[in-house]
Amino acid sequence: MFLSRKVQDPIQLQQKLIHVQSELKKQQKRLNNYKQTYKYQMIEQLKQENAILESDNEELEEHLYSLEEKLDKYKSHLDVANIKVHMYQQALEKMNHEYSQLKDDYQDLKNDYKKLQDHLFHAQSSKQQIKEELVNKNKEVERYVQYKVQYEHRVEQLETQHNVLNKENDHYQNMNVMLKNQNRRLEENYKKFLIRYLVKQLLAIRGAKQIATQREPSSKERLIFELEKKLNDISNEIQELEN
């Protein structure tokens, strides 16, 4: 009985060994299947994430284009406002010069009128001469009075125009400041969206790099080198924008 058990032990061990080897092969096969499934799922997940990043990238590019158009529009408005401010300043200088010239002319007329009065005072020795001179001088006085009325009317017009130009000049100065502030805020927003756009590209390239690592070795190294170069370029560009 003892001899029979000893004879059966190697057989049982052989059977157990075969069973263990079979189980080991099954487990290895399951492990390989799991690895292949996990690898496929990772590739599909990376593809989906890359598609989402590409969609976000297109939206950011459209938004970036819209911001650039707005920036050009505000710059154009700012240039027009600067031109109008310059034109009004020139018109204001011209009117100031004309106003100064009219003041000089008015002073000359006052001097002439005083001379006429002095001349009339000294011409009383001859009545006829005085009458004739009075007629002439009265005509001159009438012309002077008419000119004075015209002058005063012109001065009022110039003062009114001067006030209007000052108000318009203040308006365009304020508009100029407002456009500069809007332009600065727009440039800041443009910079922020450009950074977001570059970060999205950075994430997209990183996702592409992860996919590239699953390729054949012959093309994987060259593709990874190109992706790493793009990563470095975009990182440097983001650092320059943040500074």
pLDDT confidence band for 7 (50 / 70 / 90): very low
Domain ranges of the chain: 2-242
Residue 177 has pLDDT above 50, yes or no: yes
Lowest mean pLDDT among 2-16, 126-140, 221-235: 2-16
User: For residue 56, what are the CA distances in angstroms to 52, 68, 74, 141?
Assistant: 6, 18, 27, 85
Contacts of 153 (CB under 8 A, 6+ apart): none
- What are the two backbone dihedrals, phi and then psi, of residue 176, each rounded to the nearest 5 degrees? -60, -45
Mean pLDDT of all residues in the chain?
75
Each residue of 114-153: pLDDT tens digit? Answer: 887 777 677 556 667 667 777 887 788 788 788 888 888 8
Phi, psi of 151 (to 5 degrees): -60, -50
CATH number belonging to domain 2-242: 1.10.287
pTM for this prediction: 0.35
**Rounded Cα gap, residues 26 and 38, in angstroms:** 18
In a 13 Å sphere around the CA of 196, the CA atoms on its Cβ side amount to 15
pLDDT band at 3 (very low <50, low <70, confident <90, very high): very low
User: Average of pLDDT values for 98-106?
Assistant: 82
